[in-house]
C-alpha cells in the first residue's frame, strides 16, 4: 500500500469526529489500541465546544437517577428507550466525577459543584462553567488526548465513505479526503462521532461542521437509522445578519428574561400558560405562529428577548459570553432587547445503536448526536446531550477487537483532470446547492410541516441529487475503488472536495428528514404537522429507515 506522508494506512480504531463524543471515546478506548482521531476542521471546532448551558447529572441530595430518568422520559414524548435512559441517568454521577478528576472546572458554590435548574428538570441538576461549559469540557478533553501516545489526531481531514468488506458486510475502514487526495484507511473498528446536521436548515445554532456526515455515510452503506424527523428547534437564536444564529441560552429565560414582540407585548402566554418557560418546541411554535400572524414578511421577522428583568449582577455573573457576543453585534443587553428567532438546534434521530454503541453494521459504532441511542425519544431534555456523549463514550472502554488480519494491497493513482473553468463551474453548482437546499428544508421541514410542502421538498431534492450525480467529480469519485488513490492536479482541490463531500451528505440528510417527516402523520415532540396537529397513540412507535425503505417499529 502506498504510504502517505505521516498517515498510517491502518489503525486498530478510527474515531471520526473530535467533539465531546469523539474525544471522550478516544480517551476511553483501551490504550493498547492505536487510535486515529479524525476531524474535518480543527479540534477546537464542534457543537460541543459551543455548548453553553451545561451538563445534567443527579448529584444533589434531593435528586436521584430515578428522577432524572422520569424527567428525560417525560420530555421524550413517548419514544424514549427505558433501558437507554436508565443507563444514562445511572452512570451520569460517576461520569461527571471522572470529568472533574480530569480537570474540568465546573462552577462551584463554596466547596460544592454549583447546580442550576433548566426547563423540564424537576431538580437543580445542571452543572456549568459560566455560559461556556462546552469550551471548558473540550479544552480539558483535548489536553488529555494530547497526552495519550496511542492517539493520533488527524485534523482537516474529511471522512467521505465507509469501506465495507464485500463478503461479510463488515466495516473495515473509511475513505478520507487527506491533503488534496482521496485515500483509504483500514481499521478493525470505526466509531462515528460526527455530531448533528443543523446545517441542512437555513437557520441553525450549529457550527459549519454539522452537516450530518455520519448519518449520510452510514445510510449509504445500509445502516439502520431511526426517528430522523425529530429535530429540536431552539426558540432564541440571535437574528443579526452574520451572527450565525448564535444561541441565547434557555437559562436566560430560566433566570427571568421576557419574550416580547415589536409592540413590546409579552406574547408567549397567548400560546401556553407557562409563557416563556414552556417546552422549547412550544415556545418555538409560539414565535413562528406569532410572526406568521403579525409580521409583514415572517421569513425575515424576529421577536425580542428582554433580559433587563434579571438583576444586573446576575446577568454579569451567569452570562458573560452572551453579553460579549451581543456587544460584538452592537447590542447592549443592559439597555436594549436582543433580536431573536427560532433555529434548528439538535437532531434527536440518528444511527440506531445499542448500549455498547454497536450499529447494525458489524465493526461500525456511533456515539454522540449522530447516534440514536434511545435516550432522547421525540424530544431531548436540555443538557442531556453532552452527558450522552460522555456516558456512551465511556462504554467504549469495553471494546474488544477481532483480529481481522489486514492484507497489504498495492494502490495505484487515479488522476482527476479538469480545466480551471470546469472546476469553477462545478464549484458554482455546489455553491448554489449549499445556498438553496437549507432554505428549502427550512420551508418544508422546519418548525411547522405539512404534506404538500414536504412532497414538493422531496421532489426538488431529487432533482438536485441528479444534478449533483452528474458533476464530473461525482462520476470520478463514485468509480474510485479501494485499490486507487484519487489524485487532483490543482492545489486547492481539498476545499472543493470537502465541499463536494458535505453537499452530498446534506442532500442525503435533507431527503431522509423530509421523507421521515412525511411518513409520520401526527405531531409529537420535535415533529409538528399542521395537517395532523394531534399526537396519535397509534404512532407511539419509531420511524425506521434503511436504504429506500421507511417503516414503523413494532
Ligand atoms: C450552540 C449550542 C449550544 C448547546 N448547548 C448545550 C448544552 O448546554 N448542553 C448540552 O448537553 N448540549 C448542548 N448542545 C448540544 C450539544 O452540544 C451537542 O449535541 C453535542 O455536543 C454533540 O457532540 P458530538 O461530539 O456528538 O458532536 P460535535 O461536538 O458536533 O462534534 C462533531 C465532530 O465531528 C467532526 N466531523 C463531522 N463530520 C466529519 C467528517 N465527515 N469527517 C471528519 N470529521 C467530521 C467535526 O469536525 C467535529 O469535530 C448545544 C449545541 C449547540 C449547537
pLDDT digits (tens, 9 = 90+) for 277-308: 888 888 999 999 999 999 888 878 899 999 99
Give pLDDT tens digits along the chain (554 positions): 334 567 888 999 999 999 999 999 999 999 999 999 999 999 989 999 999 889 999 999 999 999 999 999 999 999 999 999 999 999 999 999 999 999 999 999 999 999 988 878 899 999 999 889 999 999 999 999 999 999 999 999 999 999 999 999 999 999 999 988 999 999 999 999 999 999 999 999 999 999 999 999 999 999 999 999 999 999 999 999 888 899 998 889 988 999 999 999 999 999 999 999 888 888 999 999 999 999 888 878 899 999 999 999 999 988 999 999 999 999 999 999 999 999 999 999 999 999 999 999 999 999 999 999 999 999 999 899 999 999 999 999 999 998 776 666 778 999 998 888 888 999 999 999 999 999 999 999 999 999 999 999 999 999 999 999 999 999 999 999 988 999 998 877 888 999 999 999 999 999 999 999 999 999 999 999 999 999 999 999 999 999 999 999 98
Q: Hey, which bits of 466-526 come out as E strands?
A: 484-488
Which atom from ligand 1 is nearest to the alpha carbon of 247? 1
Nearest to 184 by CA among 402, 35, 7: 7
> How far does residue 411's CA lie from ligand 1's centre (Å)?
35
Nearest to 98 by CA among 146, 153, 57: 57
Determine the Cα–Cα distance for residues 376 and 55; give it in Å rounded to an integer. 14
pLDDT reported for residue 278: 84
Angle between helices 20-28 and 384-394 in degrees, nearest 10: 20
Residue 543 has a CB neighbour count (10 Å cut-off) of 23
Helix ranges (H only) for 127-273 are: 133-146, 213-220, 250-254
Determine the Cα–Cα distance for residues 302 and 320; give it in Å rounded to an integer. 23
pLDDT reported for residue 402: 82
Radius of gyration of the chain (CA): 23
Which atom from ligand 1 is nearest to the alpha carbon of 206? 53
pLDDT reported for residue 178: 93
Determine the Cα–Cα distance for residues 203 and 483; give it in Å rounded to an integer. 41
> How far does residue 511's CA lie from ligand 1's centre (Å)?
22
Determine the Cα–Cα distance for residues 276 and 286; give it in Å rounded to an integer. 10
Determine the Cα–Cα distance for residues 529 and 520; give it in Å rounded to an integer. 9
> How far does residue 366's CA lie from ligand 1's centre (Å)?
13
Determine the Cα–Cα distance for residues 127 and 96; give it in Å rounded to an integer. 9
Pocket probe for ligand 1: among 7, 41, 383, 385, the residue whose CB has the most ligand atoms within 8 Å is 385
> How far does residue 344's CA lie from ligand 1's centre (Å)?
13
Show the ligand 1 pocket: residues with CB < 6 angstroms: 16-22, 38-41, 46-48, 50-55, 133-134, 158-159, 193-195, 205-206, 209-210, 213, 247, 346, 368-370, 383-386, 389
Residue having the nearest C-alpha atom to atom 24 of ligand 1: 195
With a pLDDT cut of 90, the percent of the chain lying above it is 85
pLDDT reported for residue 2: 39
Which residues fall within 8 angstroms of residue 505, CB to CB, at 6 or more apart?
211, 212, 213, 215, 216, 217
pLDDT reported for residue 407: 67
Q: Length of the chain in residues, anyone?
A: 554
Nearest to 131 by CA among 383, 388, 392, 387: 383
The residues annotated with a catalytic role in the active site are 280
Pocket probe for ligand 1: among 25, 44, 47, 392, the residue whose CB has the most ligand atoms within 8 Å is 47
Pocket probe for ligand 1: among 15, 38, 51, 380, the residue whose CB has the most ligand atoms within 8 Å is 51
Which atom from ligand 1 is nearest to the alpha carbon of 158? 42
Determine the Cα–Cα distance for residues 421 and 101; give it in Å rounded to an integer. 55
> How far does residue 421's CA lie from ligand 1's centre (Å)?
36
With a pLDDT cut of 70, the percent of the chain lying above it is 98
Nearest to 342 by CA among 268, 447, 199: 447
pLDDT reported for residue 404: 72
> How far does residue 46's CA lie from ligand 1's centre (Å)?
5
> How far does residue 549's CA lie from ligand 1's centre (Å)?
28
Which atom from ligand 1 is nearest to the alpha carbon of 501? 41
Residue having the nearest C-alpha atom to atom 44 of ligand 1: 39
Strand partners, 182: 177, 486
pLDDT reported for residue 406: 67
Which atom from ligand 1 is nearest to the alpha carbon of 204? 53
Residue having the nearest C-alpha atom to atom 20 of ligand 1: 48
C-alpha grid cell, residue 204: 441553525
CA angle 125, 271, 265 (to 5 degrees): 95
Determine the Cα–Cα distance for residues 24 and 12; give it in Å rounded to an integer. 17
pTM over 0.85: yes
Determine the Cα–Cα distance for residues 300 and 434; give it in Å rounded to an integer. 20
Which tens digits make up the pLDDT trace of 238-247?
Answer: 999 888 899 9
Which atom from ligand 1 is nearest to the alpha carbon of 246? 1
Helix ranges (H only) for 76-156 are: 82-102, 133-146
Strand partners, 351: 225, 371
Amino acid at each position: 500500500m502506498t504510504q502517505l506522508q505521516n498517515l498510517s494506512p491502518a489503525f486498530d480504531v478510527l474515531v471520526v469526529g473530535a467533539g465531546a463524543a469523539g474525544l471522550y471515546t478516544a480517551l476511553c478506548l483501551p490504550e493498547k489500541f492505536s487510535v486515529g482521531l479524525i476531524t474535518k476542521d480543527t479540534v477546537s471546532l464542534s457543537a460541543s465546544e459551543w455548548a453553553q448551558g451545561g451538563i445534567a447529572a443527579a448529584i444533589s441530595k434531593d435528586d436521584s437517577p430515578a428522577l432524572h430518568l422520569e424527567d428525560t422520559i417525560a420530555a421524550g414524548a413517548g419514544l424514549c428507550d427505558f433501558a437507554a435512559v436508565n443507563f444514562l441517568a445511572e452512570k451520569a454521577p460517576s461520569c461527571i466525577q471522572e470529568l472533574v478528576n480530569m480537570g474540568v472546572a465546573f462552577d462551584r458554590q463554596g466547596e460544592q459543584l454549583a447546580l442550576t435548574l433548566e426547563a423540564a428538570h424537576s431538580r437543580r441538576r445542571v452543572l456549568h462553567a459560566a455560559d461556556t461549559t462546552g469550551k471548558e469540557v473540550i479544552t480539558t478533553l483535548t489536553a488529555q488526548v494530547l497526552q495519550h501516545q496511542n492517539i493520533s489526531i488527524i485534523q482537516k481531514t474529511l471522512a467521505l465513505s465507509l469501506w465495507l468488506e464485500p463478503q461479510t458486510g463488515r466495516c473495515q475502514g473509511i475513505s478520507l479526503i487527506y491533503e488534496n487526495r482521496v485515500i483509504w484507511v483500514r481499521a478493525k473498528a470505526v466509531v462515528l462521532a460526527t455530531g448533528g446536521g443543523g446545517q441542512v436548515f437555513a437557520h441553525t445554532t450549529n457550527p459549519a461542521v454539522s452537516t450530518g456526515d455520519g448519518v449520510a455515510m452510514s445510510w449509504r452503506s445500509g445502516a439502520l437509522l431511526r426517528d430522523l424527523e425529530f429535530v429540536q428547534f431552539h426558540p432564541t437564536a440571535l437574528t443579526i445578519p452574520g451572527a450565525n444564529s448564535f444561541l441565547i441560552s434557555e437559562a436566560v429565560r430560566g433566570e427571568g428574561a421576557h419574550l416580547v414582540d415589536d409592540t413590546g407585548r409579552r406574547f408567549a402566554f397567548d400560546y401556553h400558560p407557562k409563557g416563556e418557560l414552556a417546552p422549547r418546541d412550544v415556545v418555538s411554535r409560539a414565535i413562528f405562529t406569532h410572526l406568521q400572524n403579525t409580521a409583514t414578511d415572517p421569513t425575515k421577522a424576529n421577536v425580542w428577548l428582554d433580559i433587563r428583568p434579571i438583576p444586573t449582577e446576575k446577568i454579569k455573573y451567569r452570562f458573560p459570553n452572551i453579553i460579549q457576543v451581543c456587544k460584538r453585534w452592537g447590542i447592549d443587553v443592559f439597555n436594549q432587547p436582543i433580536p431573536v428567532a427560532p433555529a434548528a438546534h439538535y437532531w434527536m434521530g440518528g444511527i440506531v445503536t445499542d448500549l455498547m454503541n454497536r450499529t447494525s453494521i458489524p465493526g461500525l459504532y456511533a456515539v454522540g448526536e449522530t447516534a440514536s441511542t434511545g435516550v432522547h425519544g421525540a424530544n431531548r431534555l436540555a443538557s442531556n446531550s453532552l452527558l450522552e456523549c460522555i456516558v456512551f463514550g465511556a462504554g467504549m472502554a469495553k471494546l474488544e477487537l477481532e483480529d481481522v488480519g489486514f492484507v497489504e494491497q498495492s494502490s495505484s493513482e487515479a488522476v482527476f483532470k479538469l480545466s480551471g473553468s470546469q472546476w469553477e463551474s462545478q464549484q458554482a453548482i455546489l455553491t448554489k446547492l449549499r445556498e438553496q437546499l437549507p432554505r428549502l428544508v427550512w420551508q418544508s421541514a422546519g418548525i411547522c410541516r405539512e404534506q404538500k410542502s414536504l412532497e414538493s421538498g422531496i421532489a426538488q431534492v431529487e432533482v438536485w441529487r441528479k444534478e449533483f450525480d452528474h458533476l464530473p467529480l461525482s462520476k470520478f469519485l463514485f468509480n474510485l475503488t479501494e485499490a486507487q488513490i484519487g489524485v487532483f492536479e490543482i492545489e486547492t482541490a481539498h476545499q472543493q472536495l470537502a465541499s463536494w463531500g458535505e453537499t452530498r451528505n446534506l442532500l442525503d440528510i435533507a431527503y431522509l428528514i423530509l421523507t421521515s417527516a412525511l411518513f409520520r402523520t401526527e405531531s409529537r415532540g420535535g415533529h409538528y404537522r399542521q395537517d395532523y396537529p394531534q399526537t396519535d397513540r397509534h404512532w407511539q412507535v419509531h420511524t425506521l429507515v434503511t436504504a429506500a425503505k421507511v417503516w414503523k417499529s413494532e
